[in-house]
Amino acid sequence: MTVSNEQLREAGRRWVEAWNRRDLSAILEHYADDVEICSPLAKERYGAADGTVRGKERLREYFSAGLRIPNLHFDLIDVLIGVSAMTVVYRRENGALVTDCSEVNDRGQIIRMIACYGEPPVRKEPDKG
Query: Does 75 have pLDDT greater than 60?
Result: yes
For position 84, which CATH number holds?
3.10.450.50
Domain that holds residue 25: 5-117
pTM of the model: 0.89
| Residue 43 in domain | yes
**52 in any annotated domain:** yes
Domain count, the chain: 1
Is 125 a member of any domain? no
Q: Is residue 79 part of a domain?
A: yes
User: How do beta strands 52-54 and 74-82 pair?
Assistant: unpaired
Asked if the model's pLDDT at residue 128 lies above 70, the reply is: no
Whether residue 128 is contained in a domain is answered as no
pLDDT tens per residue across span 51-68: 999 999 999 999 999 999
Residue 100 CB contacts under 8 Å (≥ 6 apart), including other chains: 87, 88, 90, 113, 114, 115, 116
